[in-house]
Chain A
Amino acid sequence: MHLKRRQFLATTAAATAGLAAPVTLRAQAREYVIGASLPLTGPFATAGQMVAPALRMFEALVNEDGGIGGVPIRITAEDSGYIPANALANYQRALATEPDMVMYFGDSTGFMKLVAPELRGANARLMGSTSFASELADPAGNPYQYLPGPSYEDQFDILLQQVKDEGGSTVAFIFSNTEFGRDPIAHGRAKAEELGLQVVLEESTREQGADIPTHVTRLAQSGAEYCILQGYVTGVWPQLIGGARQFGLPTRFMGTFWGMENAIADRVTAEAGPILDGYAGVMPYRYFYDPERGPAYERFAAFQKTAFVGTPLENYLPTWGIQALFSLTIGVEALRRVADKGLELTADNAAEALSDLRDWDTGGFFGVPVSMVNNKIGTGRVYRYSAETQLFGPSSDWFTV
């Protein structure tokens, strides 16, 4: 074949334009997309439906601040029904339809584990979630996934340290017979031994519909001074505490993040009386009503007052909403750092920027500056519930483990 000079130039120009097109498109992104799966239906629909407007608020506030490197963001959320396979399908669809997606928010440990092997090469995105599962904090295996706070193992460390500081010597672990429930138990056992605490009972229960009298009897027989509950959200733990109070047990109960929502504690108090008085647990963030809340919460509060009038979000942000907002905040912070360096917003660059976060001022989510170590932030605080004020109040300083 004989190629004329003009034909050669035209072909070369076309080929160059074709090859450069993706780079040009990426450079010219008019908006960055953050994808999300939320449980808008299913067992956690209430939580998902409250988080969905919070994500819209987050989008508006980030864009007010100039987006990421001057490019506005758009958040697209789809329903998972709290089924990991649905969330995975949502992620794959978002990958296929949103070429400028730079980050994803997952709604369960199950999804995060299911999607982890998919996060390779062009399919990888920076990924936060609602999960504090210890095994997700694994920079070698899951470099793009991070925890927006302390893992359940860290939370057990914080609680056991608190037991030690209060002069306790015996502790019981009661947990649901699920991955969520079992997550920190072996680690907790080792940590208790290290602290000189005796684990006198490890009791596994059903996640729903547990046989409360049997578990309370076992707790009473163990003689534990403290009992840490793990692996429950709304059910079982209030009934266990109520049963123990009726039994007359002096055991002091503690829990981790998902047992710390103020609205749930208030509902329990309204129906069962002051059984939760003195119940304590780890809450990584300040509660929304904290008088010492920082500028981030103040901004949310101002936005909520005008944008969510007449809804439960008008004056309150539940713990799971705070968690979702912080998860996205820290992800966007990493992406902004990448953009500021003039680098492309790839998952690798974002993960590297995230792991470099040290002594970062979160704007009031945490009471102290935090660091991302091993893809998690091992900081939290013990709060205690008062049936009189119907609020969780701080009962320790901020711990970093």
Chain B
Amino acid sequence: MGQLLQFTINGLMAGAIYALIAVGIVSVFKATRVVNFAHGYLIMFGAYFYFTFAVLVPQAAWAPDWLASWQPGWMMDMREGLPMFSPLAAVLDWLANVPRILLGLAGALLCNAALGLVIERTLMRPLMGQSVFAMIMLTVGLISILSGSAQLIWTSDAEFVPSLAPNTPIRFALFGQTIFLFGADLANMVIALLIFAGIVLMVRYTKSGIAIRATAEDQSTAYSMGISVPKVFSRAWVLASTTGAVAGAILATRNGISPALGLFGFSVLAIVLMGGLDSYLGVFLAAMIVGVLEALTQWQLGGEWAGIVPYVAVLVVILIRPHGLFGAKEIERI
């Protein structure tokens, strides 16, 4: 039982990150009816922006020393005699990195928001009024542009970035089994869930959110009701890019950073289809189900199956409910 719980929690932590990635795809789809195939590459750019501001900028000759490693006197005193991998040492390591982590996050959010805005204004908006299919194909083309640009700007080197939270080990006993969690993963999960919840609340209760929902229902009616549909499009892209920036930073801390990060978007696309392209709740549930299924399959059947079983489940759900778990049914009358 304890082991089941351990692997379920591991799966939930992975699922929360899937959900954070998926929220960007759903936001763009809800507002524009466009499935953004390039979302994984927006995330990759977010990760690289985080790397730029959290690693490259602090290393620059002109950057103050405290930005690269903040080492006040009291911290040095606390470090004295600490074992190498003790929980306190992990917290102090993280504290020393806090200035550059904050700079990295701020830089990633701003730059990715700007990137999302540029993509929307220069590539998507001119296609407004055209077939949605053309816009979807454009996002496919965007994959090559973003992937190639990242390699030109940052090269293909694998890089490593500081964790968003201290990676202290957390242990507790449950059902006679010691449960072990990584502090950074737990924090990542909390960050992902908070952002996800914030977006859902925003869409449900704020004016901007209502405008997104109205546009999703019917663009023409939304226009006639005085909603600026182009602005809604822009907001959706900025929302997807900023959540993508945080998701990118989290993925980079978990797996390191390389252009291969962009491929994550494709596996999450399956999760989005399972949940329903326009349903935050559905996508959240699907992300958690896939995360837990992956971890449990890894535990019971090994890695060869972990990449297959969850996606068989996705297929089964789509076969039974083609619009996903909670996606809106679309009836086309011919």
**Closest chain B residue to A237, Cβ basis:** B256
| B160 and A272 within 8 A (CB) | yes
CB-defined contacts of A221 to chain B, threshold 8 Å: 3
Min CB distance, B172 to chain A, in Å? 14
Q: A209-B264, A234-B258 are in contact. Are A42 and B295 (CB under 8 A)?
A: no
Confirm or deny: A12 has a beta carbon within 8 angstroms of a beta carbon on chain B: no
CB-defined contacts of B151 to chain A, threshold 8 Å: 41-42, 45
Contact of A203 among B84, B159, B181, B303 (CB under 8 A): B303
Confirm or deny: A141 has a beta carbon within 8 angstroms of a beta carbon on chain B: no
Within 8 A of A (CB), among B116-162: 151, 155-162
Q: A43-B258, A209-B255 are in contact. Are A248 and B302 (CB under 8 A)?
A: no
| B263 and A214 within 8 A (CB) | no
Binds B, one of A100-108, A238-246, A345-353: A238-246
CB-defined contacts of B264 to chain A, threshold 8 Å: 209
CB-defined contacts of A273 to chain B, threshold 8 Å: 84, 93
Q: Among the interface residues B167, B251, B264, which one has the most CB atoms of the partner chain A within 10 A?
A: B167
Confirm or deny: A225 has a beta carbon within 8 angstroms of a beta carbon on chain B: no
Confirm or deny: A220 has a beta carbon within 8 angstroms of a beta carbon on chain B: yes
CB-defined contacts of B7 to chain A, threshold 8 Å: 214, 217
Q: Among the interface residues B14, B160, B181, B307, which one has the most CB atoms of the partner chain A within 10 A?
A: B160
Q: A43-B156, A202-B302, A267-B160 are in contact. Are A235 and B255 (CB under 8 A)?
A: yes
CB-defined contacts of B181 to chain A, threshold 8 Å: 213
Contact of B156 among A45, A211, A272 (CB under 8 A): A45
Q: Is the interface of B mostly helix, strand, loop or mixed?
A: helix
Q: A177-B304, A218-B298, A243-B182 are in contact. Are A235 and B10 (CB under 8 A)?
A: no
CB-defined contacts of B223 to chain A, threshold 8 Å: none
**Closest chain A residue to B167, Cβ basis:** A246
Q: A44-B156, A177-B303, A177-B307 are in contact. Are A248 and B169 (CB under 8 A)?
A: yes
| B182 and A213 within 8 A (CB) | yes
Within 8 A of B (CB), among A198-214: 202-206, 208-214
| B307 and A46 within 8 A (CB) | no
Q: How many residues of A contact B (CB 8 A)?
A: 44
Q: Among the interface residues A210, A215, A235, A274, which one has the most CB atoms of the partner chain B within 10 A?
A: A235
A243→B251 CA distance, assembly (Å): 15
A267→B155 CA distance, assembly (Å): 15
A residues near B, CB below 8 A?
41-46, 177, 202-206, 208-215, 217-218, 220-221, 233-236, 238-239, 242-243, 245-248, 264, 267-268, 270-274
- Knowing that A45-B155, A211-B10 are A-B contacts, what are 8 other residue pairs whose CB atoms are under 8 Å apart, sorted by A's residue number? A42-B156, A43-B258, A206-B306, A213-B13, A233-B158, A234-B258, A246-B169, A267-B158
B residues near A, CB below 8 A?
3, 6-7, 10-11, 13-14, 55, 84-85, 90, 93, 151, 155-162, 167-169, 180-182, 185, 251, 254-256, 258-261, 263-264, 294-295, 298-299, 302-304, 306-307
In the complex, 10 of the A-B residue pairs with CB atoms within 8 angstroms, ordered by the A residue number, are A43-B260, A46-B155, A177-B307, A203-B303, A209-B264, A211-B298, A214-B295, A246-B182, A247-B169, A248-B169
